[in-house]
Amino acid sequence: MLHDDEMVGGVPAALLPLLASHVPGRLRLRGAALRSAKMLARVREAVLQCDGVLECRINARVGSVLLRYEPQRLPQQALLARLATTLPAAAQQATPDAAAQVQRARRRRVQAARRRRVNTAVQYGMALSLGTSLLAAARGATGAHVAAGNVFLALLALHVIRGAARCSDRCWGNRRRTGEA
């Protein structure tokens, strides 16, 4: 179990459940703890007092805080430490297994990258087999035309099935999990 003052990947453990994205100069926090107007006002007040914060946009409806800052004037660790001390309620709502959350997020990024690579390979294969099929048809090589056409159709089927599965997960995934009709 992580304590609030522990760090995971350079981020205070208390902020892990809220940290949506961070690149030098831009940080986004998102979570249910940030849907409170009091909490958002506290965060805005605390970060705007920091030298180097350029902008603090808040959205109470979705529980989001977007900070733009100058990394040269305000180091990342100083900003994260300030946020960790400002958000005690978020620390109480933090899941006890924050390191597992980080690993799940990494695993999702790796899986998404793998899906993109496979999809790119399938698309290149489709283009190559279609071109080969058309060239073989133009030259009168019926056997090569049919073979390349079959390869194209197989890759097309794979492409459509993978796309339909993604669409189904996006469109119907939440209903399946919650049991809604």
Task: State both tokens at 83.
Answer: 């946020």
Does residue 136 contact residue 144 with C-beta atoms inside 8 Å? yes
Q: What is the pTM of this model?
A: 0.46
Query: Which residues, 6 or more positions from 175, have their beta carbon under 8 angstroms from its beta carbon?
Result: 181
pLDDT tens digit string along 69-125? 998 998 888 888 888 777 764 444 444 455 566 677 788 888 888 988 999 999 999
Would you list the domain boundaries of the chain? 7-94, 100-178
Task: State yes or no: pLDDT of 68 exceeds 70.
Answer: yes
% of the chain at pLDDT higher than 70:
74
- CA dist., res. 116 & res. 109, Å (int): 11
More confident residue, 37 or 115: 115
What is the SS3 assignment for 65-129?
EEEEECCCCCCHHHHHHHHHHHCHHHHHHCCCCHHHHHHHHHHHHHHHHHHHHHHHHHHHHHHHH
Architecture of domain 7-94: 2-Layer Sandwich (3.30)
